[in-house]
Structure 1
Amino acid sequence: MLNLTDDSVRAVLRSVNPKTQTRRVVKLPHHNPLGQWQPTLIGGPNGGRTARGETIPEQGGIWHTRTGDSLMCPYGQPGDRLWVREAWCHLSDVRTADPGGDALQRRVFYRADYPGDTLMHDDDPAERIKWRSSRFMPRWASRLTLEIVSARVERVQDISEADAIAEGVTKFSDSFINGLPGWEGFSDALPRASASDAYIDLWDSLNDARGHGWDTNPWVWAIEFGRLGK
């Protein structure tokens, strides 16, 4: 499973330049000073086989040069599927005569579809919906399934311009309309000169308070995925 923010869900769902990558901090088990952590490759034609005799898909990993400890991507390997969890609410939480879309079928509303928390009770506009955390989304309520294409380990600052675009950053509205350079920032309403600059802003908005800001340059799992279905 994979938890996504509202912005990320909207980026995955959009038809033009959808989000196809995500980066997650590698949770290292220790920081032994007698060695260092280094990225590596696991699997492939000469990388061993599973208990069923199948070739292990080539994927990125990380290992410690002193202890020999190694980690594989905890989110899965190429070919694995991830179901997405996002902020939501049950149809029973909403007193509305017209749920719209496929809410009646799914019995679910998704907060990403209502920027600014605009979904309110018809009979009491002052009463806003109490959205449920993505952590409490059951499998049946998920609307997005992703398939892992590749997984590798790198420093977050190694992200390329193309990868930053694949992370879901968007063109600044005025720049998009006028065909000018500029990408949307997340800390203010000002455009950024490059997609990479916009991604730095996005990364810090999600990770700086957790001690993994851009300047700390943590190791990350760089996961590329494709969306299954419509």
Structure 2
Amino acid sequence: MKERPILFNAPMVRAVLADQKTVTRRMIKPQPTLDTDEWVVDAGGTGKWMGSGPSPATGGTRQTWGWATCPYGQPGDRLWGRETWSDVNLQGAPGIAYRADDDIRDLMEDESFLDERGAFNYDDPRSKPYPFSCWSEDLIAGTEGRWRPSIHMPRWVCRILLEITDVRVERLQDISGDQAEAEGVDAAMCQQYLETSPSRFECKEAVIHGFAGLWQSTGGNWDENPWVWVVEFKRVTS
């Protein structure tokens, strides 16, 4: 079993924590150079996938594109979620704040940070780089301190741990309504992207329009219909 980090924005963090998001789609990089129409997974359990399709360079003869390894792992591997966070002062106790829902973790209640006397170990190398000087109330109110980017979240700070249950390859626009819901798209998100979704003129379920709008809002291009990794997961606590 391997562990790898994965980035989530605030809406997706909330969806994962509410057990509304159980799958994520991430674009395959680089995209196939052939007109790929079929993917097969390596039977050897390496986690690699091979794409194949007709090649214009050979008059349409089918060719393989080569092996692509899913960077998120394979079933049984784990993902730990990175999100926007900050170190804060909880009325004298060191803590971690999470921007997605303003949740705060009191490190003095975390047994792994306590010494043999049950006191907080201020020499713990995990916390030493952080000042814990900003009051939690001031950070959340936006009057003091700063949020740290998700890409800089260390493993010990994360609160989201996921186990991969399935990996497959699909075209982005092949997503179903059920899968769009499993991506964490809800009624509020559908309403949010109702007038801007790139798929709004297509005959699709509202939840798919919501997903298309979400995909576009994070820098993706729905109209390109790229090949994507579809990574299904379940949340675990240890």
Q: TM-score, normalised by structure 2?
A: 0.68
The answer to whether the Cα contact below 8 Å between 1:22 and 1:224 also exists between their aligned partners in 2 is: yes
The alignment partner of 2:187 has SS state of coil
For structure 1, the residue ranges without an aligned partner over 5 or more in a row are: 49-55, 173-181
Residue 91 of structure 2 aligns with an amino acid whose one-letter code is A
1:40·1:60 contact (CA, 8 Å) conserved in 2? no
1:153 corresponds to which residue?
A: 169
Q: Distance in 1 between matches of 2:50 and 2:147?
A: 37
Tell me which of 93, 100, 125 is aligned to 1:112.
100
Q: Which residue of 2 aligns with 1:70?
A: 67
The separation in 2 between residues aligned to 1:131 and 1:169, in whole angstroms, is 26
Match of 1:11 in 2: 15
- Deviation (angstroms), 1:189: 10
For 2:164 and 2:177, how far apart are their aligned partners in 1? Answer: 21
Distance 2:29 2:233 in 1: 21
Residue type at the aligned position of 2:138: H
Question: In 1, distance between residues paired with 2:27 and 2:102?
Answer: 29
Cα distance, 1:150–1:60 mapped onto 2, change above 3 Å: farther
Percentage of pairs with the same residue:
37
Hey, what does 1:41 align to over in structure 2?
40
Q: Partner residue of 2:152?
A: 136
TM-score (norm 1): 0.70
Cα displacement (A) at 1:40: 1.8
Q: Is the 8 A contact 2:22 2:183 kept in 1?
A: yes
Residue 67 of structure 1 and its aligned partner are, at CA, apart by 5.3
Counterpart residue number, 1:214 = 222
State the 1:29 CA deviation. 6.3
Paired residues, number? 187
In structure 2, what is the Cα distance between the partners aligned to 1:126 and 1:13? 24
| Counterpart contact for 1:89–1:110, Cα < 8 Å | yes
> What amino acid maps onto 1:205 in structure 2?
S
Cα deviation for residue 120 of structure 1 reads 4.3
Deviation at 1:183, TM superposition (A): 3.5
Structure showing greater Rg:
2
Distance 1:64 1:128 in 2: 54
1:13-28 equivalences in 2 (<5 Å): 13-15=17-19, 18-28=20-30
In structure 2, distance between residues paired with 1:126 and 1:28: 39
Q: RMSD between aligned alpha carbons?
A: 3.2
Q: Is the 8 A contact 1:147 1:227 kept in 2?
A: yes
Match of 2:91 among 90, 97, 117: 97
Check if 1:229 corresponds to 2:237: yes
Aligned-partner residue type, residue 109 of structure 1: A
Q: Deviations over 1:179-216 (max 9, x none)?
A: xxx943247799x9621111111111112xxxx41111
The equivalent of 2:138 in structure 1 is 121
Aligned AA (2:210): A
